[in-house]
Structure 1
Amino acid sequence: MISEQVETDARLLWDYHQMGHALRPCSVAIGLGSHDLGVADTAVDLYKRGLVPLLLFTGATSPTSKARMPRGEAIHYRERALDLGVPSSAVLVEPNARNTGENIRFSRQVLEEANVEVSSVLLVSKPYEERRAYATACKLWPGVEFVSASTPMTFEEYVESIQDVRLVIDMLVGALQRLLIYPEQGFMISQAVPSDVLDAYGRLCREGFTSRLIVSESPTS
């Protein structure tokens, strides 16, 4: 159980992490690897709606995905897409990336090697990773327009899917910390963070939702 204030603060972070972009046709959809097959499902939906002619799934394995996806995140995403009816010719795989920056850099390399002209990308991630993925992509791949997308769901629905509210809030807090500290390290572009979101972040840190923080940095800085 969590308090009403914690839930309110978590919702503020949840809403901020989503970009609210209007979907439109793009050159390719890039599905960022994770433990969540919903990313692959959403990418397939975008393909079937005619918004992209090509899917690229990127990701190796991580501690949270290794047991569920032993062959690698991108490989399991591809298998999911094929099971859902996407032809193999419309799916590319980048199986080596182990963080968001590598997702972008390695995907760009795969597309260049495949002679795919890219002017715009539908960037598909988990709902709370939309803003982080967008900020990273804009930094590492200038000249391309990025449209963020994720599985449409509420905070409550996502908690229900994960079955661990504290873990979800920890992930929301960790993702926001990176938005605050990574721009000055050159990993992503800087984005304005509203004061109410910063206040909520600080309260959640003080409540102990810190397992996904980078410990070398102050969580409230």
Structure 2
Amino acid sequence: MISSQSRSDAQLVWDHHLMHHDPRPCSVAIGLGSHDLGVADAAVDLYRRGMTPLIVFTGATSRTTRARMPRGEAVHYRERALELGVPDRAVLTEPRARNTGENISFSRALLDEAGVTVSSALLVSKPHEERRVHATARRLWPGVEFVSASAPVTFEEYLASIQDDRMVIDMLVGALQRLMIYPAQGFMAADPVPDEVAAAYERLHRAGFTSRLVEDGTGTPF
């Protein structure tokens, strides 16, 4: 059972992760792989609205997706987009990335190889990954303007859609930890965390929402 304090703290962390960008037309949309097919749906919606002529889906598998997306996150996302009517020519697949930095770096390399000029990119992710992805892209791909995007859902709606509250809150906590420690390690641009959000993070940490943390603040990003 998740306490009311933990749910309140998780809501605060969720709100911080959202960038609140207004989507606008960009050179490409990059959909970052995860357990959530809603990312693919959000990318398709942006394509249908004329916000991008091209979608890149990026991602291999992780401990969360290995069973539910055995062919790889990017492949399952691509299949979803084609089912929803996006033409094959408008979707590229990057199937090797295993962390956010690789999502950005490998997508950049794929687009370079395809001869696509990128001046701006829609970064399509889970809602609670918006800020982390944006900070990573700013660090690894200078000279490009980034716009964050995700499915327009509330925290409670997202919990209901995933049906695993603890996993979602663990992910919120893990994403925030990375925002705090990864800039010093060169993995992402600095993005200060407000004191009240940091305090909520500490309470969630003490409450045991730790499965997505990098051990003792160091190690390989995932």
Shared fold, TM over 0.5: yes
Q: Equivalent residue for 1:23?
A: 23
SS of equivalent residue, structure 1 residue 216: helix
CA RMSD in angstroms comes to 1.0
SS in structure 1 opposite 2:5? Answer: helix
Q: What is the alpha-carbon distance in structure 2 between the residues aligned to residue 66 and residue 166 of structure 1? A: 19
1:23-64: CA deviation from partner (whole Å, max 9, x where unpaired): 100000000011111100000000000000000100111111
Q: What does residue 195 of structure 1 align with?
A: 195
Query: What runs of 5+ residues in structure 1 fail to find an aligned partner?
Result: none
Give, in angstroms, the shift of residue 217 of structure 1.
2.3
Separation (CA, whole Å) in 2 of partners of 1:216 and 1:194 = 22
Q: How high is the sequence identity, in percent, across the aligned residues? A: 72
Which shifted more, 159-168 or 115-124? 159-168
SS in 2 for 1:137: helix
Aligned match of 2:113: 113
For residues 2-81 of structure 1, what are the structure 2 equivalents within 5 Å?
A: 2-81=2-81
CA offsets 1:180-216 (integer angstroms, 9 cap, x no match) = 0000000000111111101111111111111111112
Residue 67 of structure 1 deviates from its aligned partner by 1.1
Q: What is aligned with 2:175?
A: 175
Residue identity in the other structure for 2:121: V
Alignment partner of 1:211 is 2:218: no
Structure 1, 196-205 or 207-216: larger mean CA deviation: 207-216
* Structure 2 CA distance for aligned equivalents of residues 210 and 62 of structure 1: 17
**Is 1:92 aligned to 2:126, yes or no?**
no
Greater shift, 163-172 or 144-153, is seen at: 163-172
How far is 1:68 from its partner?
1.2
The answer to whether the 8 A contact 2:180-2:192 is kept is no
Contact 2:34 2:59 in 1 (8 A): yes
Amino acid across the alignment from 1:187 = F
Deviation at 1:128, TM superposition (A): 0.5
For 1:68, the aligned partner's letter is R
Deviations 1:140-161 (A, max 9, x none): 0000000000011111111111
Q: Which runs of 5+ in 2 are unaligned?
A: none
Task: Output the amino acid matched with 2:214.
Answer: I
Report the TM-score when normalising by structure 2.
Answer: 0.96
> What amino acid maps onto 1:4 in structure 2?
S
Q: Provide runs of 4+ in structure 1 moved above 2 Å.
A: none
Cα distance in structure 2, aligned partners of 1:89 and 1:109: 18
User: 1:136 corresponds to which residue?
Assistant: 136
Q: Normalised by the size of structure 1, how large is the TM-score?
A: 0.97
Q: How many residues are paired up? A: 218
2:102 aligns with: 102
Q: Counterparts of 2:87 and 2:165 in 1: how far apart (Å)?
A: 37
Determine the structure 2 residue equivalent to 1:83.
83
